[in-house]
Amino acid sequence: MTFDPLSPEFAQTPFEHLSAMRATGKPYVHTNTLKRLVSVFSYADCEAVLQDHEKWSSDRGESVRKAGLGDAMILLFDDPPEHTRRRNAVKRQFMPAALAGMKAAIESRVANLLSKANGKVIDFVSEIAAPLTISTIGLMLSIEEDEIAKVREWTEKLARIDGVANFLHHPDDWMEQAGSATLNEMADFFSAKIKSHRSQRNDLLSVLLASELSRDEAVSMAKFILHAGNETTTNLLSQLLLLLIEHPDQYARLKIAPELASGAIDEALRLRGSFRETERVAKLDCELSGVKVRKGDTVVTWLASGNRDHSVFVEPDRFDIARQPNRHLSFARGIHTCLGNILAKSEAAAFVGALIQHHATLELVGDNAVRWSDNPLMSGVTKLDVRITLK
């Protein structure tokens, strides 16, 4: 059995392909890629790799540059002690105590966006999900309303190439050039922000400036937070809405039992988390489920596969907002657990809360209401035509 995640067949039915690979009970060694890759599919293998940073490195240096992502993934693609130093510089800003002050602003933004959309046919991605996400990050990074469109354009470009370079059969200079050009624009944008920023403001840019990070690191960290935070949360909101529309019984259940909102968010993350995979590099020769892994091999942990592993989740393909426990892998594990996971859930909770409060009716509109991302390694929705009617 061959496995090519860049094939048209995988793009059309990714979860079926991942299920078939998981059923083999062993990792898959890619032989036609630019570098040696080993894909793992079981929950146990994915979790084991993600949790052990002593055995598995996140530093992918040159390969990241060739993927066109440069330093936009500074916090994902580094190891201790640099990772620890950089994460410590900003982690308090993403803790519940720091985020509590943003709750009212997020809820107000959700209310305004839903009020404008009430009863109309809209593209949920561009008219609610992306503006909400970018404006929330904007509170932290001093992004103004009239800058949202440009920011969205940058993160969309990076999302199209994220992870794809690993599986290429031949080098792709365009990918490196396109990514680098986007990152240069983002660097200029944040360099200007930092230069003119008033350090007395209590936001993330001020924290970056006051930290021990260099100016270049501060710019890179801002780029990372913008890219990683925007596309993932935009997708979470879009997939959550789509799942509620596709499963009206679960939406009805949610309206009766609003305390299940957190479960609905986690279930959306489990079934359709933004990143279908993430990678680590072997620091030494070892084995994974009987397959030899060489030092320097890139190991691809298929989160989307582990999240549907029958040995961990009962009826794993079913959307169940009351599923307990739900230890999905969508925010990864270990020292690289998603920095912004609490913020992402807070935005989703505000959105779901508003739907419940207003007894909103939800419907897809048109025969081509949903357009999926053309990056097969991301579970992304780029268009979602819906009508949300508030009562």
Q: How far is CA 322 from the centre of its chain?
A: 23
Quote the DSSP letter at residue 129: I
Residues constituting the chain: 391
- Model pLDDT for residues 342-365, shown as the tens digit of each residue: 999 999 999 999 999 999 999 999
**pLDDT value, residue 62:** 59
Quote the DSSP letter at residue 211: S
- Model pLDDT for residues 154-189, shown as the tens digit of each residue: 888 887 776 676 676 665 666 777 778 888 899 899
Domains and CATH numbers, the chain: 8-389 (1.10.630.10)
The whole-model pTM stands at: 0.93
**pLDDT value, residue 68:** 47
- Model pLDDT for residues 291-321, shown as the tens digit of each residue: 999 999 999 999 999 999 999 999 999 999 9
Mean pLDDT, rounded, of the chain:
91
Q: How far apart are CA 365 and CA 369, in angstroms?
A: 6
Answer for the pair 4, 167: CB distance below 8 angstroms, yes or no: yes
Of residues 356 and 374, more confidence is placed in 356
Q: What is the CA radius of gyration of the chain?
A: 20
For 263: left if phi > 0, alpha if psi spans -120 to 50, otherwise beta; the answer is: alpha
**pLDDT value, residue 173:** 67
Q: List, as one string, the DSSP characters of 277-292.
A: -EEEEESS-EEETTEE
Min mean pLDDT across 18-32, 171-185, 217-231, 260-274 is at 171-185
Answer for the pair 35, 63: CB distance below 8 angstroms, yes or no: yes
